[in-house]
Every structure is written in C-alpha cells, then in structure tokens.
Amino acid sequence: MSTPEPYLPGPSPALSQSDQDALTDLYVRGTPANTLRAYERDLLYVTAWKAARCGAALDWPESETTALAFILDHARNLNDATEKDVARETAEALIAQGLRRSLACPAPSTLDRRIASWLAFHRMKNLPSPFEAPQVKQARAKARRAAARPPAPKSQHPITRDILELLLATCRGSRRDCRDRALLMLGWASGGRRRSELTGLRREDVSLKEFDKTGLVWLSLLETKTTAKGETPRLVLKGRAAQALVHWIEVGEIQDGPLFRPVSKADRVLSRRLSPDAIAQIVRHRLKLAGLPDDFASPHGLRSGFLTQAALDGAPIQAAMRLSLHRSMAQAQKYYDDVDIAENPATDLLG
C-alpha cells in the first residue's frame, strides 16, 4: 500500500537525502498496516470536512480556529440544527460523499480517533498541533463529556461454546467447510483471536512437531494489539481445535504462506490471504446457516465468548488472560463480572 505524504516525516534541512529516505522508510515499516489504513480514512475525512466547511485545503500546521470548529461541528446532534447551519450543511456534504452516516452526533471515540490522527500528522511533520492549545483541549474534553454514552459492545452476543457448536455443525465436508471449522475453532480456543491476528497467521507460524506425539499444535503470532513483534508468547491448540487445524492444512495443501485463504466457488484454495472483512462474512454466513440472525454476533464474539465461557467454567482469569493476551485485568474482568453477578446468591433474596 502506498503511503500518502501526511503520514511521513517532514523534510529536515539538517538531514541528507539518504538519511531523509531512511527516516521515511522507518516510519512506513514502523507503523502497523491497520494504523496506516485508519490514517488514510481519517485524512480523507478531515480533508473533505475542511473543503466543505471552509472551502480550503488543510494547512500545516492547522489553525486553532479550524481545530475548534472541527470539534464544535462534531459535538452536537445536527438533526436539531437549522437547514442553513454551516455545520449541518457541511455534514450533509460529507454524507453525500459517503464519508459520514448521519447528522447524529458521532461517538466520542470516533472524534478522538480522527483528532489523534490529525495530531499525529502534525507530529510526523515536526509541527505544533492546534489540538494542544488550552482552549481547544478544554473544548475537546467538554465535547467528550457532553456526548458520553455507554460503550456499545463489539459483538451483540458472545459466541459461547453452545453457540460455537451450532456454527461448527454447519461445516460439512467441502474445503470451505474445513477452512471455516479450523478458523472458528482456532479463533475461539486459542484465546479469542482478533480478525487481524487470524488473517495475519502464516503456515510458518504453526508448529506441528508435537502433534503426532502429544496432540498439541503451537502457534506463534507475529504481534497483536497488545504485544509488539517478538514479545507475543506462543499459544497452544489441543483436542478438536488442533485436529481441525491440521485437517485444514492437509486438505488445503498449505505448505507455506497465508494460513487462512479464500476458497473459490469450485472449492479450490487460492494463494492469497483472507481479508479481515472476510472473517466477518464467514461468521455471518455460519450464523445464518445455524438458524441465527446474521447480526447475532460479530467476529469479536469469538473473543468475548472465550472469556465468558472461561468464567462460566470457573477457569481462573489469569489462565484465560494468558491465552487472550489481554493487557488489562480490568478489561478481561468485565466478562467475569457479568457471569459472577448472575450467579450471585444475593440476586435470589426475594425468591
């Protein structure tokens, strides 16, 4: 993927061209692909917003007035604004371009992410950011508080073991079925893997050396959201999950390269990797085949379902976290709290 200019460090007169090129290469190699994609979306949005709002291109550095206007435009429900309101007119222009969904006030996390990207672009160019100005920082904090709402779950329902079994029952005997069975089992049993972690796995990351003797399969994730390259511990698969993965490797004839790949309508395994969106499509497809609404759960349901099931089965949270690789005990504890409160004897006091 090409890397647009605002992502890159600004030119420095103190650096030679070769050093400047090396610095640019360092930025590209040191920025995760998912972050680059988020940068691209956010840059497109803020560029279109300023063009519609001010009739001008982005400035480097941007003015505090523009930064403040950006916050104010995204800190209220524009359905209540008059048709001549400049913020509403700007939002309608963005909706027409497919960059904004509605006139409703965006989630605070969305505003925070776009501002963080905009701030990062300034930092990359070694420029002061308008979002660091006291008035702008205060407005941002007030906007966050005013729009505060309970965080929406990433998956409507957790995919607990009983739901997972329903999905697995839809996987018959085709190569696509073998792939989906292995993907769902690995995604759930290895600790609830994220979509990017599943699509990033390569055959070289899977060790089958102990499978024939112990039935264990070892996985090496390059990196995760909470661990850097080289710091991610090896994960283990055993039992049915290990057998399903080995079967997929054999059926798909996966010798090297991406572990999970598209399968054509003719049931032929392709050489490229699955995209993260394909994981979502697989989950929706299996839910539908299992007789559940296709929006019953998202791929994150594998992660939340693993931790929920661990809590239901009484597994220590520390043991579950060693597989899920949660960095925050508080984050993982939420899944245990939901189970604990349902089993709390104090909830039966009324009889």
Give the whole-angstrom CA distance, residue 28 versus residue 24: 6
How many structural domains comprise the chain?
2
Is residue 276, in this structure, part of any structural domain at all? Answer: yes
176 and 91 within one domain: no
Residue 145 has pLDDT above 70, yes or no: yes
Beta bridge partners of 235: 219
CATH number at residue 238: 1.10.443.10
* Band of residue 326 on the pLDDT scale cut at 50, 70, 90: confident
| C-beta of residue 141 within 8 angstroms of C-beta of residue 72 | no
Give the whole-angstrom CA distance, residue 224 versus residue 35: 13
165 and 140 within one domain: no
278 and 171 within one domain: yes
233 and 113 within one domain: no
User: Per DSSP, which regions of the chain are E strands?
Assistant: 206-207, 217-219, 235-237
Segments forming the whole domain that contains residue 207: 161-345
Give the whole-angstrom CA distance, residue 159 versus residue 185: 11
Q: pLDDT tens digits for 294-309?
A: 889 999 999 999 999 9
Backbone angles phi, psi at 192, to 5 degrees: 85, 75
202 and 315 within one domain: yes
Predicted confidence at residue 4, as pLDDT, reads 46
312 and 168 within one domain: yes
Is residue 152, in this structure, part of any structural domain at all? Answer: no
| C-beta of residue 284 within 8 angstroms of C-beta of residue 184 | no
Give the whole-angstrom CA distance, residue 179 versus residue 166: 16
Residue 131 has pLDDT above 80, yes or no: yes
Is residue 154, in this structure, part of any structural domain at all? Answer: no
Tell whether pTM > 0.85. Answer: no
Is residue 174, in this structure, part of any structural domain at all? Answer: yes
| C-beta of residue 191 within 8 angstroms of C-beta of residue 320 | yes
Predicted confidence at residue 254, as pLDDT, reads 94
Give the whole-angstrom CA distance, residue 95 versus residue 112: 20
269 and 121 within one domain: no
Higher pLDDT: 285 or 339? It is 285
Predicted confidence at residue 7, as pLDDT, reads 52
As separate numbers, helices (DSSP H) first and strands (DSSP E) second, the chain gives: 15, 3
Residue 139 has pLDDT above 80, yes or no: yes
Higher pLDDT: 225 or 183? It is 183
Predicted confidence at residue 8, as pLDDT, reads 55
Give the whole-angstrom CA distance, residue 281 versus residue 267: 17
141 and 86 within one domain: yes
Query: Which residue, among 64, 84, 66, has the nearest Cα to 74 in the 3D structure?
Result: 66
329 and 209 within one domain: yes
Q: pLDDT tens digits for 21-75?
A: 777 777 777 777 778 788 889 999 999 999 999 999 999 899 999 999 999 999 9
Query: Which residue, among 158, 159, 157, 170, has the nearest Cα to 291 in the 3D structure?
Result: 170
197 and 260 within one domain: yes
Predicted confidence at residue 14, as pLDDT, reads 63
